[in-house]
């Protein structure tokens, strides 16, 4: 019988370490790590996420600036706000919540963020650094996947890892991070043939396809580790891509949804703020 990974417990463990790190920065420099979270308009999901960021930041002693803007804002005005945040040495991380209103050129606005403050790895420069193996911030959802594996002492080197889903925000960066950890990685997608044959050989299986309960026991290897990144609404409930109860009979570890990967993302986003602040406070 496998174990359900408690993402909230892992997040709390990381928060304790982060809180200690923030206290050290404050004591040594007299300054506080600080993030600006930019919300344009009234998207419900973005409002929820921004409030979650603020709650966690406050609990860690991290400064938090809400930059809430009207959905009718003009392109140039938003650009100027980002430029001003880039030039403000008291702001160490910039989070631009997406989606943006139709009148805004999202790619152009995103590209203005200083890569040294780009805590969610949105700019082309940050993404280029990430894939070239240079110093960069890791997108928080892929970072959550790798953090779970690290915190639970799951060895990557030499292991057969399979990632289902090739999105730019989850699948591809997760595959890149697993490769950096010296796993042998297969990236699968909607056109992959004989999927069960591939996944049933995986020591580590990461699923991010948005199909509720798609992965059942016959997809997984005995004793494997399964990380479920999927979130879909099914019968009014948030549901992952993995049928958790089904695979528990075979796997060693599996992340539930909710309470798995998603429980860590905001905490790890703020860990990037703490890292960013070190370039400015010391």
Binding positions for NADP(+): 165-167, 231
SS3 227: strand
Closest C-alpha to 215, from 185, 239, 179: 239
The token pair that represents 98 in the structure block? 């997406």
Contact 183, 224 (CB under 8 A): no
- For 105, other C-beta atoms within 10 Å of its C-beta total 13
Tokens of 78: 């938003």
Q: Which residue has the tokens 């993402």?
A: 7
Annotated binding site: 165-167, 231
Sheet containing 3-4: order of strands: 3-4, 253-254, 225-228, 204-207, 160-164, 184-188
Relative to beta strand 232-234, strand 237-239 is: antiparallel
**CA of 274: how far to CAs of 133, 146, 235, in Å?**
21, 19, 39
Cα 47 to the center of its chain, rounded Å: 17
Phi, psi (deg, nearest 5) at residue 8: -65, -40
Residues in the chain: 282
Q: What gap in Å lies between CA 162 and CA 220, rounded to an integer? A: 11
């Amino acid at each position: 019988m496998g174990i359900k990974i408690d993402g909230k417990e892992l997040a709390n463990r990381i928060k304790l370490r982060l809180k200690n790190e923030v206290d050290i920065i404050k004591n040594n420099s007299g300054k506080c790590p600080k993030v600006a979270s930019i919300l344009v308009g009234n998207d419900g999901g973005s409002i929820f996420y921004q409030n979650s960021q603020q709650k966690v930041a406050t609990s860690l002693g991290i400064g938090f600036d809400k930059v809430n803007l009207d959905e009718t804002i003009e392109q140039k005005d938003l650009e100027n706000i980002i430029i001003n945040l880039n030039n403000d040495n008291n702001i160490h991380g910039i989070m631009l919540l997406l989606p943006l209103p139709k009148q805004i050129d999202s790619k152009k606005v995103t590209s203005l963020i200083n890569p040294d403050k780009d805590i969610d790895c949105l700019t082309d420069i940050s993404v280029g650094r990430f894939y070239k193996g240079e110093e960069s911030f890791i997108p928080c959802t892929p970072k959550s996947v790798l953090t779970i594996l690290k915190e639970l002492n799951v060895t990557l080197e030499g292991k057969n890892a399979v990632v289902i889903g090739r999105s730019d925000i989850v699948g591809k960066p997760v595959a890149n991070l697993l490769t950096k950890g010296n796993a042998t990685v297969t990236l699968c997608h909607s056109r992959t043939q004989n999927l069960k044959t591939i996944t049933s050989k995986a020591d580590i299986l990461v699923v991010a396809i948005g199909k509720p309960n798609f992965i059942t026991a016959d997809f997984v290897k005995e004793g494997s580790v399964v990380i479920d990144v999927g979130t879909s609404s099914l019968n009014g409930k948030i549901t992952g891509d993995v049928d958790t109860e089904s695979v528990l009979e075979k796997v060693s570890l599996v992340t539930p949804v909710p309470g798995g990967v998603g429980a860590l993302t905001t905490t790890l986003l703020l860990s990037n703020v703490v890292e960013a602040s070190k370039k400015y406070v010391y």
